[in-house]
Amino acid sequence: MLKAAVVGVGAIGQNHARVWRGVSGVDFVGVVDSDPTAATRVGTYNNVPAFTSLEALLEKVKPDVVSVCVPTSLHYETGLKLLDANIHVLMEKPIASSLEQGEALVAKAKDKGIVLAVGHIERFNPAVMELRRRLREGMAGRIYKVLAQRLSPYPPRIRDAGVVIDLASHDIDLMRYLVSEPITRLVGETLQGINSDREDMFDGLLRFQGGALGVLDVNWMTPTKVRRLTVTGARGLFECNLLSQELFFYENESAPSQWDALSVLRGVTEGNVLGIRIQRHEPLAAEINDFVGAVRDGRAPTVTGEDGLETLRIALAFVQSGKDGTPVHYGQPVAPR
């Protein structure tokens, strides 16, 4: 039986602990938090031993798999210690604070043949899973644009990452997952220093190799929580509410009726609106089960270390673009359409 533990049991880590407790075929063996009150509270709640250091966990209950849920600036050192001890790691997003750190983690996991998954949780949102399935079937036809809105009130506990790295990384990963093409150029605008000493407000624009656009509107300056994703295609518009796990399709009546007949689009008119039935589940439980499956079956997890690294690369490029006021190009720029 696999032995599992959680390191860092704050806002998200306590949810990892709750989920791990119920994973079948897994023995949940302990939690770690440098704050003894948090460690004891979550340990007691889940009926597992609580430790105040990673070293104590490794010494007393050597786990096989660990969720790393410490603040982002500690992902690297925590992850490296675990990988060095041959322990499979589910790293909360983002993979690390810098590309060098992320690359070192990916290289270490590869070298040791250990699973390193990254917690880009929206891939496990059932509405996203259904959206991706339908996009792949061609229901929207050619994808022209993906728009992501992620607006929140300010979280004072996040002190080591700005809104691009902390929040927009979810949407960058989602766009990469849905479009499945390299990003060839991007430009970002940020407002900094309003609530934190990093970016608080972010608007970004990117282009995929095949020509599709990605638009990101992300901030923690909004007194309500919005998580909205739309995909505009030749055959219509998907609208996804990531919070309520709802998915709608607004059909373009002017598009040719056969999904595979990607012929010339003659116009856009309002057609039927379809509410798509979603079998709801908890994304975190699906993410953790996917990680366990990867460890057991020796396969890649749905979000690999390389995925986490690429998403961080794009996020850092957006931050730099916002600072410099210049676009970033990767390789050959695509011809404008």
Ligand X SMILES: NC(=O)c1ccc[n+]([C@@H]2O[C@H](COP(=O)([O-])OP(=O)(O)OC[C@H]3O[C@@H](n4cnc5c(N)ncnc54)[C@H](O)[C@@H]3O)[C@@H](O)[C@H]2O)c1
Query: Does the protein bind ligand X through residue 79 (CB under 6 A)?
Result: no
Cβ atoms within 10 Å, residue 38: 19
Q: Which listed residue (96, 109, 166, 311) binds ligand X by CB under 6 A?
A: 166
Query: Does the protein bind ligand X through residue 12 (CB under 6 A)?
Result: yes
Query: Does the protein bind ligand X through residue 9 (CB under 6 A)?
Result: yes
Q: Please, which residue, 59 or 137, has the CB nearer to ligand X? A: 59
> Would you list the DSSP string of 5-73?
EEE--STTHHHHHHHHHT-TTEEEEEEE-SSHHHHHHHHHHHTS-EESSHHHHHHHH--SEEEE-S-GG
Q: Which string of x and - marks every residue 95-134 that binds ligand X (by CB under 6 A)?
A: ------------------------x-x-------------
> Would you list the DSSP string of 186-221?
EEEEEEESSSSSSEEEEEEEEEETTS-EEEEEEES-
Confirm if 318 and 198 have CB atoms less than 8 A apart: no
Q: Which listed residue (5, 58, 69, 303) binds ligand X by CB under 6 A?
A: 69
Nearest residue to ligand X, scored by beta-carbon proximity: 10
Shortest CB 251 distance to ligand X, Å = 32
Shortest CB 194 distance to ligand X, Å = 20
Q: Please, which residue, 93 or 207, has the CB nearer to ligand X? A: 93
Query: Amino acid identity, residue 140?
Result: A
Query: Does the protein bind ligand X through residue 307 (CB under 6 A)?
Result: no
Q: How far is the C-alpha of 307 from the C-alpha of 117, rounded, in Å?
A: 9
**Three-state DSSP class for residue 81:** helix
Residues in contact with ligand X, total (CB under 6 A)?
23
**Three-state DSSP class for residue 131:** helix
Binding to ligand X (CB under 6 A) within 143-162 occurs at: 157
List, in sequence order, every residue forming a beta bridge with 119; answer none if it has no partner.
Answer: 92
Q: Which string of x and - marks every residue 172-191 that binds ligand X (by CB under 6 A)?
A: --------------------
Query: Does the protein bind ligand X through residue 290 (CB under 6 A)?
Result: no
List, in sequence order, every residue forming a beta bridge with 31; answer none if it has no partner.
Answer: 6, 50
Shortest CB 230 distance to ligand X, Å = 21
Shortest CB 219 distance to ligand X, Å = 16
Q: Which listed residue (5, 6, 7, 31) binds ligand X by CB under 6 A?
A: 7
Binding span for ligand X by CB under 6 A among 27-35, 264-272, 307-315, 322-330: 27-35
Q: Please, which residue, 292 or 315, has the CB nearer to ligand X? A: 315
Work out the angle at residue 295's Cα, subtended by the Cα atoms of residues 102 and 84, and round it to the nearest 5 degrees: 45
Q: Is the dihedral of CA 159, 301, 135, 142 positive or negative?
A: positive
Q: Which listed residue (2, 3, 10, 205) binds ligand X by CB under 6 A?
A: 10
Residue (of 136, 120, 103) closest to 172 by Cα position:
120
Question: Which chain residues interact with ligand X by CB under 6 A?
Answer: 7-13, 32-35, 38, 69-72, 74, 92-93, 119, 121, 157, 166
